């Protein structure tokens, strides 16, 4: 057993319940007062309460991945991404949410689905997780069932093509790159 470092010991004390500053359909903005136990300094800290998310690495029988391209209002640009979305309260688990999102966004279904890992998208401001689901042998089984506010195109790419987009800066979505890393580690393992 290793000695506990200073950072592993309690260093912050909450002085208030989180106060909801803003409620939106995608999440809430919270404020909570904390005291730093090291210095005694106090401050109000802002955080975002989002549901957990899921992204889906959908692998075709010919070893390509489904990629979507859609407009993102935060960056005011089109982004290359992997299918995914919020884990709904009606989803029993992240795996089910991933399969639902894959079918809704692309019309594809597959087999051998499993979770490769999860990340905290931005632990400085958010408490949610984003799960990466791998689904193999995906095939188009029907039309996409997009929400009224969704508009995206779906295509397939090899891992090398995706890596080229990352190198060129055209594939710039950080959470999606986390999932690509999980996929590369999975490929390396096998």
**Residue-level pLDDT at 149:** 84
3-state SS assignment for residue 136: strand
**Residue-level pLDDT at 148:** 86
Give dist(CA 169, CA 161) in Å, integer.
13
- Between the two ends of the chain, the Cα-to-Cα distance in Å is 32
pLDDT above 60 (res 2): no
pLDDT above 70 (res 72): yes
3-state helix, strand, coil in the chain (%, to 5): 20, 40, 35
Please report which confidence band the pLDDT of residue 1 belongs to, taking 50, 70 and 90 as the band edges.
very low
* Residue with the larger pLDDT of the pair 1 and 102: 102
Q: Once rounded to an integer, what is the mean pLDDT over residues 105-118? A: 97
Q: What is the mean pLDDT of the chain?
A: 93
Q: CB of 149 within 8 A of CB of 131?
A: no
**Residue-level pLDDT at 146:** 84
Cα–Cα distances in Å, from 109 out to 31, 71, 93, 188?
41, 24, 17, 25
Tokens of 138: 């995906």
Q: What domains appear along the chain, each with residue ranges and CATH number?
A: 9-49 (no CATH), 53-189 (3.90.79.10)
In tens, the pLDDT along 23-50 reads 999 999 999 999 999 999 999 999 999 9
Instruction: Please name the residues in contact with 4: beta carbons below 8 A apart, sequence gap of 6 or more.
Output: none
Please report which confidence band the pLDDT of residue 190 belongs to, taking 50, 70 and 90 as the band edges.
confident
Q: Cα angle at 50 between 41 and 104, to 5 degrees?
A: 165
């Amino acid at each position: 057993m290793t000695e506990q470092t200073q950072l592993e010991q309690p260093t912050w004390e909450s002085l208030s319940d989180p106060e909801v500053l803003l409620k939106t359909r995608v999440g809430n903005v919270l404020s909570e007062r904390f005291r730093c136990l090291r210095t005694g300094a106090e401050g109000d800290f802002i955080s975002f309460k989002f549901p957990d998310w899921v992204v889906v690495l959908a692998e075709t029988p010919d070893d390509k991945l489904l990629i979507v391209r859609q407009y993102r209002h935060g960056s005011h640009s089109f982004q290359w991404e992997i299918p995914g979305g919020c884990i709904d309260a009606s989803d029993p688990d992240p795996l089910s949410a991933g399969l639902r999102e894959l079918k809704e966004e692309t019309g594809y279904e597959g087999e051998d689905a499993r979770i490769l890992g999860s990340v905290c998208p931005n632990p400085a401001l958010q408490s949610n997780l984003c799960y990466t689901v791998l689904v193999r042998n995906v095939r188009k089984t029907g039309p996409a069932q997009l929400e009224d506010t969704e508009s995206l195109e779906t295509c397939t790419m090899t891992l090398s093509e995706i890596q080229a987009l990352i190198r060129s800066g055209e594939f710039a979505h950080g959470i999606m790159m986390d999932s690509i890393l999980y996929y590369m580690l999975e490929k390396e393992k096998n």
